[in-house]
Chain A
Amino acid sequence: MILEKIFVGSLIFNSLPFLIFFPIVILLYFSISHKYRWILLLIFSYYFYMSWKAEYGILLAVSTLVDYFAGRGMEKFKKKVIRKSILAFSLTSNLGLLFTFKYFNFVSESTRQVLSLFSMSFSQPVLNVILPVGISFYTFQTMSYTIDVYREKIKAEKHLGIFAVYVSYFPQLVAGPIERASNLLPQFRKKHYFNNALASDGLKLMLWGFFKKIVIADRLAILVDAVYSNPYAYDGGPLILATFFFAIQIYCDFSGYSDIAIGASQIMGIRLMDNFRRPYYSKSISEFWKRWHISLSTWFRDYLYIPLGGNKTKTKTKWYFNLFVVFLISGLWHGAAWTFVIWGALHGSYLILGIITFNMREKFKKKIKLFNNKLFANSLSLAITFLLVCFAWIFFRANSVSDAIYIITHLTSNLTNRFSGSNLELDGLEIVIGIVAIMFMEIVHLIQEHKGMRHFLSKRPAWLRWIIYMVIILFILLFGIFTTKQFIYFQF
């Protein structure tokens, strides 16, 4: 009863309950023998997940049991047919869960729309279920485990409890990074002693994640939500600004989450994979995908692109087909809507066009002297890549395909009007604060890109480092948006 009064809502990273529970978990973690730590992590992870909706715990448990027994079964039975059947059962179960909760209504509605084109009526069934938070993340994580066991890349985990922690590990449960069993599982067995440097780096990473989420992403979201919820009320200026802001918002939101997850885990001595490497510094779309949501793009590479044949195909057309299919599915992974499918298709098309036009572009560059200037060439590539990514984000963020088309066709309308009369929901001062915060982030990015933040900080005296941390904390407190806005990627 008291708990209910003190803590309301789910344990989102940017919520008060999490800030109180997390230190308790850390203290308990290092207070108990490492033999029992998995129990603590399992209890807390389930509590973390079930704080959204208690029933979600059942889904997590089902996914865990299916893949645990699938792994054990594949190790026990050596016959390929049986192993394949077990794998098929596991994949069907996971994808079945995903389909039921995420794609059923989309498929049903799309079928109705297609049939209506042929004047056929179809009263489509509708499932009234709430999409479980992070279902796409943990189903992909467990599928990678089963596939790796099938491929005999890893051994099946014998300890059900530890396997359950692998599936439900709270820092990365709802929005990744999507971890591989080969990286994460052994770490739950290892003895972790408290490490000052690791813990302090972890805390700094968490602080940085909070800054990106609370100060930048949630501030920009106010304007983006206002414009994208009714784009028809806005001219080109606000539409361009909202699209640009969304590109920054989604990066700060998602990479902020990843930073907090990686930092929180690092304090406990468990290393998670990098998920972002300053993606907007990419000079091509293929580089962008090596820097953006790395855990998902490598997942698709290892479990879909390469099995399809990757780039080792007889014809180039087949290679392009493989690329396109991967990005189409990647789009669908993000959400059950045509806007996401188009977003994926756009990225697939960018990559294919990039390959097709590569030689032509290189020849062109050689002819134009200006391209000998590296700064110019790099800046241009960076700007073009960023603009292409932003263009695709329009589909990603728009509420419908028709909204997206409206936005694209009105990006240049009444540009001379600037923002007069537009209700952007974010006043001038708020926009200035947002821009200052983005500039600060870019300075940090530049340092990270060249020397690395750890190196930069280690060269400064302790008092200066502390002042930097204090300023960031104060900046978050003064200018943070504390409405406990969910992270965008939770919906996927």
Chain B
Amino acid sequence: MAEKTKFSLQTIFFLALVAVIIVLVNLAYTNLILPKKTFYHKEELYQNYISKLDRREISYVFFGDSHTFHDVNPEFISDSYNYGTGAENYIKTYYKLRKMIYIDNVTVSTAVFEIDLHTFSTRLTDETNLFNELELYSKFVSLEEIRNVRKDSILKLWIEANIPFISNGKEFGILIYKPQLSEVNDLGWLKNKEDFSSSNKTDVALSVYKDTFEGHDRFSEYSVEYFKKTIELAKTNGINVVFIMYPYAREYEDALKANNNLSKQDYYGGVFGIVNSTLKDYYVLDYSQTLIDEDYLFGDPAHLNYEGAETFSKIVDGDLRELKLNNNFDKKSLKLPNFANMKTLSYFGIFLAFLEIILLIFMLQKD
């Protein structure tokens, strides 16, 4: 009896101490590290931006991955915002658009969606990219919804979302190595200072091609499913839809032609097959060849540098104006759906804690 009691008390005390340390380290991480991570910092910038809007209305919002993030500088596109982030797939895009409409109550007139050659690739839905950054996404996507994609247990997802320091200890290094956060501007554009023209262009293009395409299917099941959901969501909310293809350099095209097993024509046949099954009215802006021989405007063969972003954004601005799209600012968004469903987990947690306490008491009373 005495032995068990002593052990139980020691264990409880020790676990309580561990819990306190976990809470403290987590607090340090969420306050010191998380705001310095690009995806989180960008969301803060976005919240700051929309909080300053007189009316929560934006004419053009750009969604997509690093290509959107680097190439679109909204300073040169009137009333626009760049909401793209690195390695973003359509699962994330869908939930970001949903949040924008239903939670942030922002009325978007036109959504510009990226449909580059790699956009639907399984590279963006592999183990590391599928639905990560839960410390942010769990704020507006329920764990049940995340589980539909991730197939992990709710408990694991909950821990990943709420105790993000776990397994991320090396990120405390950010405190020593100062991150270049200032490179993301208030309108969500990421400045790229690299110069592709001074590199070994053919080798770099081949290496980027390999990293992007080799060993990956061109169409990820998840990306296609959420792409459909995204354009349906835009349609339901009366948002104009523009699809955009970002510029790339000549060497990148050569690498694509030499190695790719799916022609550009067949690939876009597949993409627009999906689009046409959902949407009647949409616009396509194809800039893939626009700056193909202007290598000095690229940071790497598929991303523009800051000069390229300026040139390109001015072109996009002119083209968007020419489309003469109507705004939908007078339309109201639909009712906010119930995203959060934490009840299951909470009840189970309480049940487990209760069971362990009962057993502990029972164990202590024995012998």
Contacts and interface: CB of A to CB of B under 8 A. Distances in A.
Interface stretch (A103-111, A163-171, A280-288, A479-487): A479-487
A16 B352 contact: no
B351 to A, nearest CB: 9
B168 A478 contact: yes
B4 interface: yes
Interface in A456-476: 466, 469-470, 473-475
Nearest to B17: A470
A27 B10 CA distance: 15
B366 A8 contact: no
**Is the contact region of chain A dominated by helix, strand, or loop, or is it mixed?**
helix
A9 interface: yes
Given A30-B363, A478-B172, A480-B166, 10 more contacts: A6-B344, A8-B151, A8-B152, A16-B156, A17-B153, A24-B359, A27-B360, A27-B362, A31-B359, A473-B18
Contacts of A466: 14, 17
A30 B363 CA distance: 6
Contacts of B155: 6-7, 16
A470 B18 contact: yes
Interface in A118-144: none
A58 interface: no
A478 B166 CA distance: 5
A154 interface: no
Contacts of B152: 8
B170 to A, nearest CB: 5
B221 interface: no
B167 A479 contact: yes
**Is the contact region of chain B dominated by helix, strand, or loop, or is it mixed?**
helix
Contact of A9 (B18, B153, B168, B362): B153
A479 B210 CA distance: 30
Contacts of A443: none
B3 A7 contact: no
A208 to B, nearest CB: 16
26 contacts: A2-B348, A5-B147, A5-B153, A6-B153, A6-B345, A7-B153, A8-B151, A8-B152, A8-B156, A16-B156, A20-B352, A23-B356, A27-B362, A194-B4, A194-B363, A196-B6, A199-B7, A200-B7, A200-B10, A469-B14, A473-B18, A477-B166, A478-B25, A478-B165, A479-B169, A479-B170
B21 interface: yes
Contacts of B17: 466, 470
A152 interface: no
Given A6-B345, A20-B352, A31 B366 contact: yes
B355 interface: yes
B100 interface: no
Nearest to A473: B18
Contacts of B169: 433, 475, 477-479
Interface string B133-162: 000000000000001000111111001000
A430 interface: yes
Contacts of B348: 2, 6
Given A30-B366, A31-B363, A466-B14, A196 B3 contact: yes
Contacts of B181: none
B337 interface: no
Contacts of B21: 470, 473-474
B336 interface: no
B273 interface: no
Contacts of B173: 429
A409 B92 CA distance: 46
A194 B367 CA distance: 10
A210 to B, nearest CB: 13
Contacts of A36: none
A199 B25 CA distance: 28
A20 B153 CA distance: 13
B362 A31 contact: yes
A193 B170 contact: no
Interface centre among A6, A9, A473 (most CB of B within 10 A): A6
Nearest to B167: A482
Given A30-B366, A479-B170, A6 B18 contact: no
Interface string A200-214: 100000000000000
Interface residues of B, number: 41
Nearest to B166: A477
| A-B CB proximity, top 5 nearest | A478-B169, A27-B359, A8-B153, A479-B169, A196-B7
Nearest to A474: B21
Contacts of A9: 153
A128 B286 CA distance: 48
Interface in A279-319: none
A429 B170 contact: yes
Interface of B: 3-4, 6-7, 10, 14, 17-18, 21-22, 25, 127, 147, 151-156, 159, 165-170, 172-173, 344-345, 347-348, 352, 355-356, 359-360, 362-363, 366-367
Contacts of A477: 22, 25, 165-167, 169
A195 interface: yes
Contact of A30 (B4, B14, B167, B170): B4
A28 interface: yes
Given A194-B7, A470-B18, A433 B356 contact: no
A469 B21 CA distance: 12
B264 to A, nearest CB: 27
Contact of B344 (A5, A28, A473, A481): A5
A191 to B, nearest CB: 10
A253 to B, nearest CB: 18
Contacts of A469: 14
Contacts of A430: 170
B137 to A, nearest CB: 18
Contacts of B345: 6
Contacts of A478: 25, 165-169, 172
B250 to A, nearest CB: 23
B266 to A, nearest CB: 29
Contacts of B156: 8, 16
Contacts of B6: 196
Nearest to B357: A27
B129 to A, nearest CB: 14
B303 to A, nearest CB: 19
A16 B345 CA distance: 14
A461 to B, nearest CB: 15
A5 B22 CA distance: 25
B247 to A, nearest CB: 27
Contacts of B347: 2
A5 B150 CA distance: 12
B355 A24 contact: yes
A27 B3 contact: no
Interface in A178-199: 193-196, 199
B3 A194 contact: yes
A330 B359 CA distance: 44
Nearest to B158: A6
Contacts of B168: 478
Nearest to B163: A477
B179 to A, nearest CB: 14
A380 to B, nearest CB: 36
Given A23-B356, A482-B167, A193 B18 contact: no
Given A6-B348, A429-B170, A480-B166, A27 B153 contact: no
Contacts of A7: 153, 155
Nearest to B365: A31
A2 B21 CA distance: 30
Contacts of B10: 200
